[in-house]
């Protein structure tokens, strides 16, 4: 996940207050296989969107995306589906952490939530903090990730970051 390469994808719009119970229902938390979890992604979201989420999707949500339960299975299912990035007017704290910890870019951009339509193709450049719609050249800006979050994303997530940290400490 190199911040220098813009991410590209087609937008699937969700709503405000899409909590993790909606992203992945509790009954599936006895599963551990990401591909199996991915089959149940946003299963209960109205109107149905699950069929349109796949490789190269950018999920665009409103306020408080991912509130509620800390279940990382929700983000794991999103990643397994091939989603490129998350964009939201705002994120719930744990969900945001889970995304960047799994190497999935998550950017807060209320203007994009206001303006960008379902199905739009967009590119996201983390380094410059811009989201662009190439078809008409429209550009929205968002705060660039803090250096630590950028490091995490560059490492591919917290797992690799901690692996390097343990190696440098010379202990496991």
Partner 1 sequence: MHRLWEVALSTTYRSDSRPAGLTTKILAGHGAGDAKPGALATVSCDLVMMNDVSGSLAMRAFERMGAVRVFDPERVVLVADHFVPAKDVRSAELVADLRRFAQRYGIEHYYELGRTEEAGIEHTLLPELGLIAPGSLIAGGDSHTCTYGAFGALGLGFGSTDIASALALGEVWVRMPETIRIEFVGQPGPWTAGKDLILAVLRQTGSSGAAYGALEFWGDVVDELSVDDRMALCNMAIESGAKSGICAPNAAVLEWLDARSVPRVDALVADEEGYDHVLRVDVDGLPPLVACPPDPAAVIAIDELPSGLRLDQVYVGNCSNGTLSDLRQLVAGLAGRRVARGTRLMVVPASNAIHRAAMTEGLIETLVMAGAVIVPPTCGACFGGHMGILGRGERALATTNRNFRGRMGHADSEVYLSNAAVAGASAAAGAIVDPRAS
| Shortest CB 33 distance to partner 1, Å | 10
Q: Which stretch binds partner 1 (CB under 8 A): 1-9, 109-117, 127-135, 160-168?
A: 160-168
Q: Which stretch binds partner 1 (CB under 8 A): 1-9, 79-87, 118-126, 158-166?
A: 158-166
**Residue 21 or 121 having the CB closest to partner 1:** 21
Which residues touch 92 (CB under 8 Å, ≥6 apart)? 19, 64, 65, 66, 67, 68
Q: Which two tokens stand for residue 62?
A: 């409103």
Cα maximum dimension of the chain: 52
The continuous run of DSSP H or E covering 21 comes out as: helix 20-23
83 binds partner 1 (CB under 8 A): no
Binding test (CB under 8 A) with partner 1, winner from 1, 42, 75, 83: 75
Q: Which two tokens stand for residue 95?
A: 């969900």
165 binds partner 1 (CB under 8 A): yes
- CA–CA separation, 49 and 107 (whole Å): 21
Binding test (CB under 8 A) with partner 1, winner from 57, 84, 101, 123: 101
57 binds partner 1 (CB under 8 A): no
Binding test (CB under 8 A) with partner 1, winner from 5, 48, 111, 163: 163
Binding test (CB under 8 A) with partner 1, winner from 76, 78, 85, 88: 76
Q: Which two tokens stand for residue 165?
A: 């940290």
- Residues of span 26-55 touching partner 1 by CB under 8 A: 26-27, 29-32, 44
93 binds partner 1 (CB under 8 A): yes
β-strand 121-125 against 7-13: which pairing, if any? antiparallel
- Which backbone phi and psi does 103 adopt, to 5 degrees? 80, 15
Beta strands in the chain, from DSSP E residues, in sequence order: 7-13, 57-61, 85-88, 106-108, 121-125, 130-133, 138-141
| Shortest CB 133 distance to partner 1, Å | 27
């Amino acid at each position: 996940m190199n911040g220098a390469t813009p991410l590209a994808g087609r937008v699937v719009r969700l709503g405000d207050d899409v909590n993790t119970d909606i992203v992945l229902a509790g009954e599936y938390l006895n599963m551990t296989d990401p591909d199996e979890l991915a089959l149940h992604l946003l299963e209960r979201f109205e109107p149905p969107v699950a069929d349109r989420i796949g490789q190269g999707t950018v999920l665009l949500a409103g306020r408080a995306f991912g509130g509620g339960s800390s279940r990382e299975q929700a983000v794991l299912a999103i990643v397994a589906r091939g989603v490129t990035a998350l964009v939201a007017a705002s994120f719930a704290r744990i969900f945001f952490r889970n995304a960047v910890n799994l190497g999935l870019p998550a950017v807060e951009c209320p203007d994009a939530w206001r303006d960008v339509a379902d199905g739009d193709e967009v590119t996201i450049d983390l380094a410059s903090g811009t989201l662009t719609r190439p078809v008409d050249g429209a550009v929205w800006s968002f705060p660039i990730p803090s250096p630590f979050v950028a490091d995490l994303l560059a490492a591919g997530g917290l797992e690799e970051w901690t692996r390097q940290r343990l190696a440098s400490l010379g202990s496991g």
